[in-house]
Amino acid sequence: MSLFEALFLGLIQGLTEFLPISSSAHLRIAGEFLPSATDPGATFTAITQIGTELAVLLYFWKDIKRIIGRWFRSLTPRSGSHSESDERSIPRNDPDVRMGWLIIIGTVPIVIVGFLAQDIIRSSFRSLWLVAILLIVFGLLLGVADWLGRRTRELTELSYPHGLAYGAAQMLALIPGVSRSGATTTMGLALGYTRPAAARYAFLLAVPAVFGSGFYELLTAIREPTASPFSGLEIALATVVAFGVGLAVIAGLMAYISKRSFLPFVIYRLLLGSTLIVLLSTGALDPL
């Protein structure tokens, strides 16, 4: 596969990672239409997601820095006497401390399933039939949740059970076609959170999981160069492209959903899934 193909896929990764339309599905589909007509693979997908998550770090840097700092300070033992150390410690019911624990709790499901189901993720889950069906099904779920959700809760009301529910939704994103941001945002909307609140927590929750997966696949690619059809340089450049494009997309999306619904993304998912089914049914595409 050529450098041009890697850069093109990096562009797609950056454009689709934060939209609820499944970046992994788009990379899987796009690979079929490139000159090489090859699946870029789970390794390429996971590593380029490091680029888009760096965009999340930059965009939410103040929030992430504050959450991490206050979470660690909350672990400092408080003595009975008043002192400078006591003044620097943070109560464990602090909103930022609770958010830190919520992100940790919400990350557990995808870590466990991602580790245990690696072989299936790299093989059966990449069938284009499965991708097409999930694009449609989760598109409909997003539409229903956006339409019927109360959209009254803010992140300050996020509970531990809801954080775990978000985590279960994120776990489903291991399957191309589901969409990490789509599944977690759908869960947030179904639980009654506002669109910006649902998306904001979805992005924050993805950070440890995506970085963990990305660096794991990076080590895999170093140990096994044949794990990806791309060279290390091509993947690196694609990751840089994904970072730059992703940063612009996340800013645009947060501005968009503060005033508008997810309906355009629902329609897009239905159209893409239906088109994919037609192409697979007519033999124009090989599902594997």
pLDDT single digits (tens) 19-65 = 999 999 999 899 888 888 778 888 899 899 999 999 999 999 999 99
Closest CA relative to residue 208, chosen from 92, 73, 102, 98: 102
Distance CA 107, CA 218 (A): 20
Out of 37-46, 146-155, 208-217, 254-263, least confident range: 37-46
* 194 within 8 A of 150, measured Cβ to Cβ: no
Tell me what percent of the residues of the chain surpass a pLDDT of 90: 67
Higher pLDDT, 197 or 284: 197
Q: Which two tokens stand for residue 223?
A: 């140990």
Tell me what pLDDT residue 136 has.
97
Amino acid sitting at position 162: H
Q: Classify residue 255 as exposed, middle or buried by CB count within 10 Å of its CB (0-12, 13-18, 19+).
A: exposed
Contact 149, 194 (CB under 8 A): no
pLDDT surpassing 60 at residue 83:
no
Type of residue numbered 286: D
CA 122 to chain centre: 17
> What are the pLDDT digits (tens) for 219-253?
888 888 777 888 889 999 999 999 999 999 999 99
Residue 245 or 85, more confident = 245
What whole-number distance in Å separates Cα of residue 79 and Cα of residue 158?
Answer: 30
Identify the band that residue 88 occupies on the pLDDT scale cut at 50, 70 and 90.
low
